[in-house]
Structure 1
Amino acid sequence: MTVQARPVQRRKVFYIPGYDPFHPRRYRELYRKEGAAQAALSGYRIAQTKGAGPYSWNVEAEIDGAEVHTEMEVLVWSDIVSGSMDASIPATYAQLARTAWTYIASGALFRLMRLRKGPVIAALYPVIFLILQAIVAVAVGAGVAALGVWALERFVFGYGLFDGYWTARAAGLGAGLLAAWAVLRTFKRHDNKVFAYYLMHDYAFSARWRGANPPELERRMDAFGAGIAEAATAGWDEVLVVGHSSGAHLGVSILADLVRAGLPAGRVSFLSLGHVVPMVSFLPDANRLRRDLHVMGAQDVVPWVDVTAPGDGCAFALCDPVAVSGVAPEGHRWPLVISAAFTQTLRPETWAALRRRYFRLHFQYLCAFDALPGTPSDYDYFRITAGPERLAERFAGRSHSPSRLTLPANRYTSQAA
């Protein structure tokens, strides 16, 4: 497709979060804080003000001698996420069983291991952790039950006035069940430290529908697409769609719909960050997503750049989501797969502080890189979203990362009609 040379002066950015129940102001504040940090490091100016909508903000930047106005908007589906997480403890363990069965029985889990082990370990983490929590709860409950039976028989029914054998055991069992439940409740109350319930709900969200989108999410995606299509005709120099984590595969489907509907070329660009596409596209009923990946892989309407990093254990780093899903079309050209190269773009002391903070690293794409400028990477989230170059211009002539993985490991390659 033709790359326009005229600098961007006005840009509209639509940000699609991943499976995140938090209020979208979190992303506004993250952009404000990290944008200021990156500007100080890289020697440009960036300022942020409140936007017209409840989930938007304005960015005024002077980068490479050019002044650029950007309007950022979060496409909100956190209410759908929160609704899917509103499950009791027994319901969460039922989700665990259903999700594990879906990924194992379909063969998806074992095929995902052929790509990157990091995100597969991340998927197994909540299963193992929740099972361990259940074991601890059972052990505590059994101990309390045994202690209760002993205490009742020794101090209450031990004087031979009447037989309290079954009464002691019933009371002990009740105390044990209450203790086990208290342990499980305590674990859930402190899940913000370990994220076991959060991640379980995340993987269960896709597994419940075997890779298809629930109707409520499809309706929301239609609304997102309508907003993007309207912006594409509103005179912006660039409309940029950014999909992070699970938001990446939502972006694929939303933009594929627009491409099929006749979206004019050169109006919209797509940046996917830290994608987890195979976790969905490898499931049996992900026919819609596989069709959309196939469409987006060869179209000449929307330039698509995919950024991941081997240091992000929650993403399928440098895996071409179209190719590994087994649906690469003839003339496959998108996405351009590049690495954020955390070990090179972060100072050694910063990398040392973050390398074990796996969930924080999954958001590093949206943050400042303190080894820039002067590093091999040209990935800078704030230059991309607030600078004078379009996405296609910035990465024109750039080759895929040498470590790009294209192995078609998916068992299921059927596509929606």
Structure 2
Amino acid sequence: MFRRESRLTAARRGLDIAVGDAVRSADGLSLDWTVEAGGTRTRYALLRWDDIVRARFPRPDWRRLAAVPALLWRLRRSGYERRLRREARSFAMVIFGVHHLYLLFAATSLGLAAGLPLLLPADWRPWSWLAVPVAAYAVLAAIMALTRGKPFYCAHLVDDTAFTHDHAAGRDRQIPDRLDAMAARIRAAEGSAGEIVVIGHSSSSFLGVEVLDRVLSADPGFGTRGTPVSFVTLGSVIPWIALDASATRFRAALARFAAADAIRWLDVRAPWDWLSIHLRDPLTASDVPSPGPDRPATRYVRLEDLIEARLIPGRRWNLFRMHFQLLMSSRDGRGFDYVAFVSGPEPVHAAIDRWRQAPTRPLTRRA
């Protein structure tokens, strides 16, 4: 996607952008490539956790059948559901809606399976009822296979939610080790680059906070020795994990990072993105005290700047496409363009300072 969007950005902005081949790092931690644009050379390292996703998504339906009602009950009883709906109506509608859709699929499967014995001869019914659970499970598996992709993405969103709350409670064992390794690499880059930029899109917005908190815990002076360090969140979902009562360690990490003003923070928001949380700043929305109005600095992006107006009606309800639109090329050369932002001649920290001095206003109050 980065290579494809780079070609679009180059054509739209009259730039010469060359994207090198992606190479898996020796330790398997990342996928790395270089970008040459306007005399600026950028080394891009993408943290890999696709193997963790493949191992967890999709889960067997028997695990979902037990876990989904228990999770929904816990989140409602703790007040989490109410708080998330307050901060992000659209996001909460998608997340909780897909869980209720899953429960509806389960009930429908059971109903359909329970009707099968009624179609059989009366002499068979006593024994045929024993097959109802098996038939219901088979029907549910078929429904989940049919709704795995767009527009529902039912299995993915349900499993992603389970991962997020497992991570919040510290039950995930793989991601922390990977974040430790990435933190060590980021720390080692200080002094050898013109600037360091950590970018977190979607769930990586909260993983980015955790990575930088690890760096600062090991080296409190990180970012103060001449190499500018910036953190950029796009399509952020930080409150998704932070509002969970079990996420005590993450909230502590978020509070520590919020106070580390040597590291600039930019939050790029898209009010048209239903899969992000953008009504308020991530700190206030997470019930974490904010050091000031420019922590983080804010940049709002118009959908009309990214894609042609004629394409919006057909894409607006493709929620995953809209969620990734912030990582794509901008139709308007004056608008926010991800490729130009991370690889263009203007340093990211300079762009953040410029936006801090002239903050943009929300495009809409829709949650």
For normalisation by structure 2, the TM-score amounts to 0.89
Whichever of the two has the greater Rg, that structure is 1
Q: How far 1:368 sits from its partner (Å)?
A: 1.4
8 A contact 2:168–2:246 mirrored in 1: yes
Q: How far 1:209 sits from its partner (Å)?
A: 5.2
Note closer, same or farther for the CA distance 1:302–1:330 as it changes in structure 2 (3 Å cut). closer
Amino acid at match of 1:192: G
Stretches of structure 1 that go unaligned for 5 or more consecutive residues are: 1-29, 154-163, 407-417
Amino acid at match of 2:5: E
8 A contact 1:318–1:339 mirrored in 2: no
8 A contact 1:39–1:46 mirrored in 2: yes
Note closer, same or farther for the CA distance 1:318–1:389 as it changes in structure 2 (3 Å cut). farther
2:35 matched residue in structure 1: 59
Note closer, same or farther for the CA distance 1:44–1:84 as it changes in structure 2 (3 Å cut). same
Percent identical among aligned pairs is 27
- Stretches of 4+ aligned residues off by more than 6 angstroms: none
Stretches of structure 2 that go unaligned for 5 or more consecutive residues are: 26-30
1:182 matched residue in structure 2: 138
Q: How far 1:332 sits from its partner (Å)?
A: 6.2
Note closer, same or farther for the CA distance 1:52–1:87 as it changes in structure 2 (3 Å cut). closer
How many Å separate the matches in 2 of 1:127 and 1:219? 30
Amino acid at match of 2:87: L
Q: Superposed, which structure 2 residues align to 1:27-176 within 5 Å? A: 30-54=1-25, 55-62=31-38, 67-85=39-57, 87-148=59-120, 152-153=121-122, 164=123, 168-176=124-132
- Post-superposition CA distance 1:91-124 (Å, at most 9, x none): 0122211221222111011011112211101111
- Post-superposition CA distance 1:346-381 (Å, at most 9, x none): 3211222211111110001111121x124xx4x211
Note closer, same or farther for the CA distance 1:211–1:273 as it changes in structure 2 (3 Å cut). farther
1:389 matched residue in structure 2: 346
Amino acid at match of 1:216: Q
Q: C-alpha root-mean-square deviation of aligned residues, in Å?
A: 2.3
Q: How far 1:404 sits from its partner (Å)?
A: 9.2
How many Å separate the matches in 2 of 1:297 and 1:404? 25
Equivalent pairs counted in the alignment come to 352
Q: Which has the higher helix share?
A: 2
Higher relative contact order (CA 8 A, sep 6+): 1
Q: Superposed, which structure 2 residues align to 1:394-413 within 5 Å? A: 394-398=351-355, 399-403=358-362
Query: In terms of mean alpha carbon deviation, does 271-280 or 392-401 score higher?
Result: 392-401
Q: How far 1:324 sits from its partner (Å)?
A: 1.7
- Post-superposition CA distance 1:8-28 (Å, at most 9, x none): xxxxxxxxxxxxxxxxxxxxx
How many Å separate the matches in 1 of 2:168 and 2:240? 10
2:313 matched residue in structure 1: 352
Q: Does 1:253 align with 2:225?
A: no
Identify which of 291, 316, 319 aligns with 2:252: 291
How many Å separate the matches in 1 of 2:354 and 2:59? 48
8 A contact 1:270–1:305 mirrored in 2: yes
Note closer, same or farther for the CA distance 1:80–1:284 as it changes in structure 2 (3 Å cut). same
For normalisation by structure 1, the TM-score amounts to 0.79
Q: Does 1:197 align with 2:151?
A: no
